[in-house]
């Protein structure tokens, strides 16, 4: 049995993203087994993923919350020595197998934000601080809710798009899941809920509360190893649209390497999640470059309209 399992999840709207993430693994010779939490999948959707080899599906149709809150539950399904969560709107460049797991079983391999980046995690909230650390007001609530340590073990928050732990961290994963079920509303509002002052990033906020105050939490690795080499790295597409829908100005620099994943999948004669989107065709590179700003604006306007008018 492989010593690491890759976990991800998504609904039918993210089938292209899940497909491309797994295809990037196989393209780069990464042979880890993959477990996918699925929602609103039909048989054909599942067959498209399992055809890529060593892919197991676990239905989450009864999971009433945002799928971003299923991470620890899904990670607990793995039986390998290590388990690695990967967001389904990301992909790998190069063979990153040796970079996935933490360097020590007592660590969690995860990316901690820099002091300069930290304010973005709490944009929209004012606490009278410089924002380079987790605000003290938030830490106080986290400490009370977790009921563990008196002093936080971290001062800056970590991104939950990728994380990897040893099986000895199962109690930590159980605590993370338990805390989400306790402090977050049992609803699905997406991946962010700005009505929640102390947990607006949902799974990520609760994750960081546990990293800060749960006595059994693994130590955050000093170095995140998936952004240190241009040849071996994990790329996460934040925001909208996703590349299988259209390219944003920020994401477009990944056009060639991401399209190469789609080309690899076609070369293997795998059944695609649907007709190949215009944004994943190499001959459309110039068109995608031209449309990256209008497409991005279109999604921003649509998001604002939904916020204003429901």
* DSSP E strand boundaries for 139-279: 158-166, 219-220, 233-236
pLDDT tens-digit readout, 65-111:
999 999 999 999 999 999 999 999 999 999 999 999 999 999 999 99
The pLDDT, as a whole number, for residue 232 is 98
In this structure, how many other beta carbons lie within 10 angstroms of the beta carbon of residue 238? 14
The pLDDT, as a whole number, for residue 130 is 80
The pLDDT, as a whole number, for residue 297 is 86
pLDDT band at 300 (very low <50, low <70, confident <90, very high): confident
The pLDDT, as a whole number, for residue 306 is 66
CA 205 – CA 200 distance, rounded (Å): 7
Q: If we measure between CA atoms, which residue out of 42, 38, 32 comes closest to residue 6?
A: 32
C-alpha distances out from residue 178 to 30, 72, 154, 253, Å: 32, 9, 20, 39
Torsion of CA 171, 174, 179, 184, to 10 degrees: 160
C-alpha distances out from residue 165 to 4, 82, 144, 162, Å: 9, 6, 25, 11
pLDDT over threshold 60, residue 1: no
The pLDDT, as a whole number, for residue 265 is 98
CA 11 – CA 131 distance, rounded (Å): 34
Q: If we measure between CA atoms, which residue out of 157, 175, 156 comes closest to residue 165?
A: 175
Burial class (CB in 10 A: 0-12, 13-18, 19+), 142: buried
Enter the pTM of the model. 0.95
pLDDT tens-digit readout, 38-75:
999 999 999 999 999 999 999 999 999 999 999 999 99
């Amino acid at each position: 049995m492989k010593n690491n399992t890759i976990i991800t999840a998504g609904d039918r709207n993210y089938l292209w993203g899940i497909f491309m993430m797994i295809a990037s693994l196989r393209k780069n010779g990464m042979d880890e087994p993959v477990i996918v939490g699925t929602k609103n999948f039909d048989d054909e959707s599942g067959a498209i993923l399992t055809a890529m080899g060593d892919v197991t599906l676990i239905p989450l149709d009864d999971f009433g919350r945002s799928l971003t809150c299923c991470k620890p539950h899904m990670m607990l399904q793995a039986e390998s020595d290590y388990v690695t969560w990967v967001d389904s709107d990301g992909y790998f460049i190069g063979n990153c197998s040796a970079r996935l797991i933490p360097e020590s079983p007592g660590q969690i391999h995860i990316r901690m934000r820099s002091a300069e980046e930290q304010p973005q995690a709490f944009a929209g909230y004012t606490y009278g601080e410089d924002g380079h650390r987790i605000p003290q007001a938030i830490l106080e609530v986290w400490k009370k809710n977790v009921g563990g340590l008196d002093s936080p073990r971290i001062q800056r928050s970590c991104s939950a798009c990728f994380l990897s732990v040893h099986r000895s961290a199962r109690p930590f994963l159980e605590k993370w899941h338990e805390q989400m079920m306790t402090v977050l509303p049992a609803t699905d509002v997406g991946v962010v809920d700005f009505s929640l002052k102390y947990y607006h990033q949902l799974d990520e906020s609760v994750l960081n509360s546990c990293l800060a105050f749960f006595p059994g939490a693994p130590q955050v690795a000093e170095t995140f190893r998936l952004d240190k080499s241009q040849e071996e790295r994990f790329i996460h597409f934040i925001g909208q649209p996703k590349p299988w829908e259209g390219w944003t100005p920020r994401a477009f620099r990944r056009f060639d390497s991401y399209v190469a994943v789609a080309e690899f999948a076609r070369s293997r004669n795998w059944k695609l999640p649907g007709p190949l989107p215009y944004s994943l065709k190499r001959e459309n590179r110039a068109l995608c470059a031209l449309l990256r700003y209008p497409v991005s604006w279109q999604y921003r306007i649509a998001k604002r309209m939904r916020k204003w008018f429901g």
